Amino acid sequence: MFAGTLASAPGAGHGSSMSVAAKVPAPHAQEEFDEELKIMATLVRHGGHPNIIGVLGCVRTGANKEPPMLVLELCVRGDLKAFLAAAMQSSTTVMPGALLRFGREVAQALHFLEARNILHRDIAARNVLLTEDTTCKLADFGLARNVVKKEYYRLTAASAPIPVRWMAPEVLSHGMCSPAGERWSFGVLLWEIYSLGGQPCVDYHCTHPPPAAPSFLGSNDSCSDTFMAIVLGQHTACPVRQLTAPWTEPPG
């Protein structure tokens, strides 16, 4: 991912330009990039969402054999994890209302995806970008899959590596990705937000699946009882994870 300038930007008038982000496939990740292009095209057809990274187009440079370049809106404040970690290191106060808003905006993006049968499968603070006014934009759809014909996606031996510390137990034990697993990952994301960019599951070892409870996330003194109740709801043992309140769009 790198920054660039798009000349004659759509809707910006003749001869104008705008700053954008451009994404090309990483080495040995062409298949993952192709899947991301398909998902982003689907999101464009659905009109996009204010809390999902905006797609401006897909272009090729040079010969046709060169991989395409995905052109996205530029989020100048970088990713949410780095933003929160920087606040922690500099002792900058991030107001509780802002933390709540971050979680709500990501939940709204996930609500939009679930309603359209799309699993993101990589929900984490590092994949949430911030605009100039710190609006959250869910990004990085390389692991996303469309499950319109079924309610889950099963991992295979050829599947790309997965972010194990954010994955629900049934994903690690049975390769079963579903909206319930997305809620588990969202619970880990909430923990990241309220720990100001902390690393979840610091004691987790990849050779053992995490327990079906939130205790393995680690201590978080900044989390209120109400917040932990929400995380507990996300981390109820599969397949019961039915708490949907955090996914509901706010009134109005």
Which residues are marked as active site? 122
Distance in angstroms (rounded) separating the CA atoms of residues 233 and 19: 40
- Give the Cα separation of 71 and 9 in Å (integer): 11
- Alpha helices by DSSP H, listed for the chain, are 30-45, 80-89, 96-115, 169-174, 179-194, 225-234
Q: Which helix (H) or strand (E) holds 57?
A: strand 55-59
Tell me if 72 sits within 8 A of 24, measured CB to CB: no
* Alpha-carbon radius of gyration of the chain: 19
What is the three-class DSSP state of 128? strand
Q: Are 213 and 169 in contact (CB under 8 A)?
A: no
